[in-house]
Amino acid sequence: MKVYRDVSQFNVAKPILTVGSFDGVHLGHRKVIDRLNEIAASKKGESVIFTFAPHPRVVLSPQQNDLRLLTTLDEKIELLEQAGVDHLIIFPFTKDFSELSYTDFVRSILVTQLGIDSLVVGYDHKFGKNRKGDFEMLKGLAMAFGFELEKLDVLLSDDVNVSSTKIRHALQEGDIARANKYLGYPFRLNGTVVEGQKLGRKIQFPTANIETSDPHKIIPGYGVYAVNVLVEGETYQGMLNIGTRPTINNNADHRSIEVHIFDFDQDIYQKQLELKFLAKVREEQKFGSIDGLRSQLEQDKLDVRHLLKNL
């Protein structure tokens, strides 16, 4: 897959294109991408995804800090490449660009600069200033500028339409099974191992404290999770806690992300880890003593090993 951050470098004879954020590259997105690739193959063209960086809300509402994304830009690039996309355009989203009307966007960028042959859009496609661009407007533009247009229906899973918003809600609730089902792959989190209080070592459960790499990446809800941990190319099993560590921590406002990696004894401070969430084991809870916490952690380890063995 070729990646472009400048549309002037794009030169494809027959681009079959779709536009969108594609946060998560979930099963709903994959339906659009699969159809995009089908059309490209049938027309002897090439599939193109047009997306943006930074996220529009970062530019238009910088005072808000509640943006939570399913994928970082690097993760999105990797997932789109795995989906078989030929070309990815990462267009710089600016305040000036946000003022561009939908008609001007289609005419000046998609038609004039990119020379699109066909445009594929999802069922809820909205675009342009104030999101006034919709499918009815697109039909008129397709006729005026001479490109083909196709709209895809919603992808349903258990009679629920798959969307990035629903996946975010599932993750916030700690519903890893539902989130992974809609994503089509295990939700993942990347970060750096930082120094913690080292209390885990004192109770025979040393943990790696994780500082996430992207402030906009969504963090699943509080609780204990079964995870796979990628460390320098090697995959290990582990159990991860997200929360305030109420048994040993009096600061209820401080969220920690810490993982106990099974059968592992290496110094990984300042190393990068990738965590793949496979299941939620239990809610975070406060214990009456350190011994009570240790007993529960021992049970958690047994539960996680059993769960991962049967996944």
pLDDT at 155: 60
Q: Is the pTM of this model over 0.85?
A: yes
**21/292: higher pLDDT:** 21
Query: Rounded to whole angstroms, what are the CA distances from 166 to 26, 114, 177, 180, 192?
Result: 11, 33, 13, 11, 28
Q: Which residue has the higher pLDDT, 171 or 213?
A: 171
Q: Is the pLDDT of residue 76 over 90?
A: yes
Does residue 200 have a pLDDT over 60?
A: no
Mean pLDDT computed over every residue of the chain: 88
- Percent of the chain's residues with pLDDT above 90: 62
The structural domains of the chain, ordered by start, are 2-162 (3.40.50.620), 187-309 (2.40.30.30)
pLDDT in the model for residue 190: 95
Q: What is the pLDDT of residue 284?
A: 86
Q: Which DSSP letter does residue 133 get?
A: B
Confidence of residue 203 (pLDDT cuts 50, 70, 90): low
Tell me how far CA of residue 273 lies from CA of 189, 232, 287, in angstroms.
8, 8, 29
Entry field: residues in the chain: 311
Across 149-155, average pLDDT: 78
| 270 to 129, 257, 303: CA distances (angstroms) | 42, 15, 29
Looking at per-residue pLDDT, the higher value among 227 and 288 belongs to 227
In the predicted structure, residue 124 carries a pLDDT above the cut 70: no
* Confidence tier at 111 by pLDDT (50, 70, 90): very high
**Cβ pair 155, 34 in contact under 8 A:** no
Task: Express each pLDDT in 162-173 by its tens digit.
Answer: 889 999 999 999
Query: Which three-class secondary structure state does DSSP give residue 125?
Result: coil
Question: For 254-276, how does the pLDDT look when each residue is reduced to its tens digit (9 = 90+)?
Answer: 688 999 999 998 888 999 999 99
Percent of the chain with pLDDT strictly greater than 70: 88
Q: Which of 83-92, 220-229, 301-310 has the lowest mean pLDDT?
A: 301-310
Q: How many Å apart are CA 256 and CA 143, to the nearest integer?
A: 54
CB-count burial class (<10 Å; 0-12, 13-18, 19+) for 261: buried
